[in-house]
Structure 1
Amino acid sequence: MRPLIDNIVAVIKKRGGRMELEDFRRLIQKTRDSLFENVDTLMELVIASGLPIDIEGDEVILETCFRPWREETFCVVDIETNGSVPKRSQIIEIGALKWRNGEIVDRFESFAACSYLPYQISEITGINPEDLEGAPPLEKMLPRFKAFLGDSLFVAHNVSFDYNFISHSFERFGLGVLGNRRLCTIDLARRTIEAERYGLGHLNIALDINTLVHHRAYADAITATKVLEIGLKNVPDAIVTTEQLIDFTKMPVKRAKAILESEKLKTKN
């Protein structure tokens, strides 16, 4: 499913954010993993993955190509795990909050039951086996988080780790691949904030965020949200839509900073 979703996004973006429904069906037919997979079923799975697409009449629209990022719902996520490899480890805590137009509009925080918690993980996170007693098993907690996430923009500090770990966990428990569009606050910070280092702990101090707890999921999600908010204040005015914002965070750092400097000069003049 991952190659299919990535291909759908690439093709729709090349077409300006929209494509004919029949072309969309043919695209799925062409890139499906197996000849035995039903196209209509795959369409339903793609929509259920959190990819923000909408079908309007005979057109399929990637909503983030048209939605102003200032109106976007950013779901800032952080996880704690009992190891670094999804196939051999599991999530022990998810903390997330939804941020829109400068305000936190919703929050999610939960431990997950775990039978194996290495001492080193307890040392880093401060989470002890006793904290996980009575916590819901992952197969019950993850559907709640998936419903909370919806099709909002998935945001995290070093987003690949959290995104891929959660996506693997979703697939493991039959919830399908994670298809939400995503944004990394490290990438945003490197292009919009001057700092010696861009780790969350360093930015927490350097930017006077000063969240008291580190390496706990919800506290780190709060810190990442503050980094997001500070970074967004420096985004060029030419960046209007959510997809433009995502693309901006992926462009070469020198080019992004050159755009910012050019905008500053225009403002002065």
Structure 2
Amino acid sequence: MEAVVVCDPNGRILLYNSAARRLFHHADALALGQSLYRLCSRPPIEHTLRLLRHRALKKNQGNEETGARFVCSTVDGAMLLNCHVDRIASDFIQGCVFAFTFEDITGKISEQGRQGHLLEKMVQSLRRPLTNLSAAAENLKTYPDMAPEVRSEFQEIILRESEELTRLFAELARESAGITSRQWPLFDVNSADLIGCLAHRSMAQDEVRVVMTGVPLWLQADSHSLMLVLERFVRLVRESRRVSEMDVETLLGDRRVYIDITWPGEPLPQAEIDAVLENALPDSVGSMTVAEVLERHGSEVWSQKHRRPGYAILRIPVPDSPRQWEEPAQRLPERPEFYDFSLIEGGQELGELANQPLADLPYVVFDTETTGLHPSAGDEILSIAAVRVENGRLLSGERFEQLIRPHRPIPKSSLFFLDITEEMLRGEPQIEEVLPKFRSFVGDAVLVAHNGTFDLNFIQSVAEKAGVRFSNPLLDTLLLSMVADEEATDFTLANIGEQLGVNVTGGRTIMDDCYVTAQIFLKLLDLLAERGITTLGGAIAACERVAVTKRL
């Protein structure tokens, strides 16, 4: 029996079966009215639901597909799930419900897959006999050692059989390729899910800390076998380079996604990598080798020096997913720009932090979504997202993201600019509950945001009511970009990203904006260093000077 969970459009559980209880190990989070996102990772599910809603709008244009398949992980990273979701019309629940079926593919071994793999091996084993048979026929023809009539008859038989075997071999090879390709389809996978699961397993099995860095990307993979390959190479790096911690990052290449494993030290010799390629993966479907898994992904693997001095990488390119390039179903209009420099001008007490090098400080890059522009007029925060940046790395595995239910309805004039609805916020916590959790996530880090005084002003307006205080220094990428380029006139996030070579896609979420801001911030640190601004005190002083000029 398949595990089935039925949810409303906001991911709230309406129904589930006994197989779902077994799959999720009778978790308390699997209960009526609870959020599916307490069980499964949010991004791939939200993306798929948005895609299905868009398809429903296009139904009158001939698009009748109501389902989609994807791969996600459980929130603890312990399981990878093969998921299928169908959109079902309903007269009672906001027009539709979504029926999810889940299959645990973390440790799946398919008997049919093994048969396909054995068939492929059999095909490979025929190559040498066929070559020998052809050679024997040629030798008989070249060196006549028997009576001419016998030799001629025998020769014709061997040649004829050789041609027939060659034909059968080609046919069998095509059939084997078809079986193999059907057995190991590539599904859309979010790299955050894949790397998160890798981190969980590497710590549990090998006591290796895998740190997820960079911006999560969509790729296509047989996620289970690819994860086993990544595990094997993480183990190789640990044993060869004696390291217990390494970064894993995804980067966009030429229609490929590069999975980079990074560590301090020298690259791995190709001979060590080649030795791993022949290792069998007993837990994979068909007990494939590492090389066979890479071949299924059209991939190879190599090691080289990292752009960061003193570090090396092992790189595995895999196919990217079309989702990487999808435009949103409906592009929201740009929200009016509103700059607020009052908090910056008030000065920031830094103490000993003033002389700390910018390169050595921990940062939390954050953003908010609000009902309007003025907290003093009753506008409220609807969501907060944040991600850590340390040692020049965007730590995408350490992020904060939370929707917030406001105390009063969202003004209709604001809904025009938002990708958030009243329905999405039902049952979500209010700001008094969320802000202490966000404060705990921030810790002693320096805050970073684009037009950050606007966001911090909203937070400060409710901080006392929530029982917290934010005294962390703030660096504003809007002001830092003015410091780095005095001639520039367009300081929107999209334009700054374009100028600095940071990819800014359309239809961004608040978390995507955090990733973009973090990448911009890291590039701005390099530009500030070129101008001799290398300490926190120096950066804030430069921002204060720009803020004063801006208000004049």
TM-score, normalized by length of structure 2?
0.33
2:538 to 231, 244, 262: 244
Query: What is the aligned partner in structure 1 of residue 389 from structure 2?
Result: 99
2:514 to 212, 221, 224: 221
Rate the CA distance shift 1:135–1:213 in 2: closer, same or farther, 3 A: farther
2: CA distance, partners of 1:93 / 1:73: 23
Percent identity at matched positions? 27
Contact preservation (8 Å) 1:191, 1:249: yes
2: CA distance, partners of 1:142 / 1:100: 23
Structure 2 residue runs without a partner (length 5+): 1-342, 548-552
1: CA distance, partners of 2:509 / 2:473: 24
For residues 117-174 of structure 1, give each alpha carbon's deviation from its aligned partner in whole angstroms, at most 9, with x where no partner exists: 2233333221111221221121111110011111211111112111111111112323
Q: Does 1:170 align with 2:441?
A: no
2:364 to 75, 80, 94: 75
1: CA distance, partners of 2:391 / 2:442: 17
Q: Does 1:159 align with 2:452?
A: yes
- 1:11-160 paired onto structure 2 within 5 Å: 62-87=351-376, 88-105=378-395, 106-114=398-406, 115-160=408-453
2:496 to 192, 203, 207: 203
Residue identity in the other structure for 1:85: H
Shift of residue 215 of structure 1?
6.5
Structure 1 residue runs without a partner (length 5+): 14-61, 254-269
CA RMSD of aligned residues (A): 2.6
Rate the CA distance shift 1:198–1:7 in 2: closer, same or farther, 3 A: closer
Contact preservation (8 Å) 2:386, 2:401: yes
Rate the CA distance shift 1:209–1:240 in 2: closer, same or farther, 3 A: closer
Rate the CA distance shift 1:131–1:180 in 2: closer, same or farther, 3 A: same
Residue identity in the other structure for 1:182: L
Contact preservation (8 Å) 2:432, 2:465: no
Query: What is the aligned partner in structure 2 of residue 47 from structure 1?
Result: none
* Secondary structure of 2:527's aligned partner: coil
Rate the CA distance shift 1:137–1:180 in 2: closer, same or farther, 3 A: same
Residue identity in the other structure for 1:69: L
Q: Which has the higher Rg, Structure 1 or Structure 2? A: 2
Aligned length: 198
Contact preservation (8 Å) 1:195, 1:206: no
For residues 217-263 of structure 1, give each alpha carbon's deviation from its aligned partner in whole angstroms, at most 9, with x where no partner exists: 2222122112211211111353332212222333359xxxxxxxxxx
Rate the CA distance shift 1:214–1:228 in 2: closer, same or farther, 3 A: farther
For residues 14-45 of structure 1, give each alpha carbon's deviation from its aligned partner in whole angstroms, at most 9, with x where no partner exists: xxxxxxxxxxxxxxxxxxxxxxxxxxxxxxxx
Residue identity in the other structure for 1:75: V
Rate the CA distance shift 1:171–1:8 in 2: closer, same or farther, 3 A: same
Query: What is the aligned partner in structure 2 of residue 264 from structure 1?
Result: none
2: CA distance, partners of 1:183 / 1:197: 19
1: CA distance, partners of 2:481 / 2:432: 34
1: CA distance, partners of 2:416 / 2:460: 26
2: CA distance, partners of 1:236 / 1:207: 15
More contact order relative to length (CA 8 Å, sep ≥ 6): 1
Shift of residue 7 of structure 1?
7.9
1: CA distance, partners of 2:348 / 2:500: 38
